[in-house]
Structure 1
Amino acid sequence: MDTASPDEMARLRQAVVACAADGPDGAAAARVATVLAAELRLRVVVLVEGESDRAAVEALAHRRGRDLATEAVCVVPIGGATSIRRFLAVVGPGGLDVGLAGLVDRAELRFFRRALEDVGVGLAGFFVCDADLEDELIRALDVSGVESVVAAEGELGKLRTFEHQPAQRHRPQADRLHRFLGTHSGRKAQYARALVQALPLDRVPRPLDDLLTYVGPRLEE
């Protein structure tokens, strides 16, 4: 197979997640992941903490005219930093043994560092967000830019209501925006994608920019 489609890469991602979960279907998922990785000539797995990080990475790649699936790059959300070891067992040395990269929140860096060092890989290719990707995007767009995105998503009224909650009234607006973006399931991914779409391409957060550069065509054999 010369190139992978997004649907095929999604199947691979699902198999990796199922295998890392180590449930009753883990062995079958491992076989599927192994076969698909070979068929799709998987080059790099990008490990990110959640779906919002995946949404941001894929949205920026799309804006730059890149198709990560055809580049044999699979972005996999691991469901939190403490799961990193289980995913490394699937895709790292001893597993699929492909190139590794990722994004990590500064507070979670210790989990990634120890796990990567223990499998003999190290942090090369893993880029640190301060404090997390939402913070990076809010700083890149600034408060007014983020509010414009919220308005475009039809949720400015909800934001204003949220801001007047007693727990939010005296917090800095950037902090309130950060909290608002994560107030219900799916909103973080929704806004990660929308904020990246609104970013001037000369203001892309450094960790996100460095990650996409790292997994770019220069790594291809």
Structure 2
Amino acid sequence: MEHFRSAFIAWAAGGRGAPAAAAAARELARGAGLRRVLLVEGGSDRAAVEALAPRLGRDLGSQGVSVVPMGGATNIGRFLELAGPQGLDVEAAGLCDAAEEPFFRRALERAGLGPHPDREALERRGFQVCVADLEDELIRALGTGAVERALAAQGDLRSFRTFQKQPAQRERTIEAQLRRFLGTTSGRKIHYGRTLVEELDLAAVPQPLLRLLDGAGAASGPYGADPAARG
């Protein structure tokens, strides 16, 4: 699956290497028994999803599922195209931030999958929305005390206390400070995407992540056909 993911991302990027990447992605998808791609915005989302899956008893690889970071929500259209009938012809589901929801709706409509006038329709299609983003979901699920303990365990609490004293941060809530801090250093969001998920009580898993992994209301059939659309 790791090799498939790399080839798929290279295919989506286009350029001179795209034809070779496309051929490799198709071959690797067949060899891995790929049946669904979970399209997420970036590496921190992928880290969180892949850390949570085994805690929920899900072996994504054996189930033919690959988590694919797209390098930003605006790339959703290209990845949907390549997942579709003219590409890999597999199901597609995904995860996005609330601010990026319009990109996902428009991309699904352009892909010929019908309009999705509200969030409920989007989620029935299998595309879950974080409010406001994944970090916000995890901070609310854990509580600020647990997040600070995680920072302490990772040796980052002192840096966070210094960050809190910055003029731009002093008037913010601790939730907002934590959310901003997690994105201040390269690699930190990815590290804590995994670390915070490992700290979660499974009874308090954020609903967008839970729905994405348990398939509740998710896509079904080729290219994520919406069961409701089939009547």
CA contact (8 A) 1:93 1:119 kept: no
Please tell me the residue identity of whatever aligns with 1:112: F
What pairs with 1:1-221 in structure 2 (closer than 5 Å)? 9-121=1-113, 123=122, 124-214=125-215
Q: Unaligned stretches of 5+ in structure 1?
A: 1-8
Please tell me the residue identity of whatever aligns with 2:130: C
> Which secondary structure does the structure 2 equivalent of 1:202 belong to?
helix
CA contact (8 A) 2:77 2:111 kept: no
Alpha-carbon RMSD:
1.7
Q: With structure 2 as the length reference, what TM-score do the two structures score?
A: 0.88
Please tell me the residue identity of whatever aligns with 2:104: F
> Which secondary structure does the structure 1 equivalent of 2:37 belong to?
strand
Please tell me the residue identity of whatever aligns with 1:118: R
State the Cα distance separating 1:65 from its structure 2 match.
Answer: 2.8
State the Cα distance separating 1:116 from its structure 2 match.
Answer: 1.0
Q: Structure 1 residue runs of 4+, over 2 Å off?
A: 120-123
Q: With structure 1 as the length reference, what TM-score do the two structures score?
A: 0.91
Q: Structure 1, residues 15-48: CA drift from partner, whole Å, max 9, x if none? A: 1100000022111000000111111111100000
Structure 2: distance between partners of 1:165 and 1:73? 43
> Which secondary structure does the structure 2 equivalent of 1:75 belong to?
strand
Q: Structure 1, residues 174-197: CA drift from partner, whole Å, max 9, x if none? A: 000000000011100100101000
> Which secondary structure does the structure 1 equivalent of 2:143 belong to?
helix
Please tell me the residue identity of whatever aligns with 2:42: G
State the Cα distance separating 1:145 from its structure 2 match.
Answer: 1.1
State the Cα distance separating 1:67 from its structure 2 match.
Answer: 1.7
> Which secondary structure does the structure 2 equivalent of 1:45 belong to?
strand
Q: Structure 1, residues 67-123: CA drift from partner, whole Å, max 9, x if none? A: 211111000000111111111122123211101111011111111111112212353
> Which secondary structure does the structure 2 equivalent of 1:39 belong to?
helix
State the Cα distance separating 1:58 from its structure 2 match.
Answer: 0.5
> Which secondary structure does the structure 1 equivalent of 2:171 belong to?
coil
Q: How many residues align?
A: 211
Please tell me the residue identity of whatever aligns with 1:145: A
Q: Structure 1, residues 121-163: CA drift from partner, whole Å, max 9, x if none? A: 3530101110111110000011111111111111111111111
Structure 2: distance between partners of 1:53 and 1:62? 15
Q: Larger deviation: 46-55 or 87-96? A: 87-96
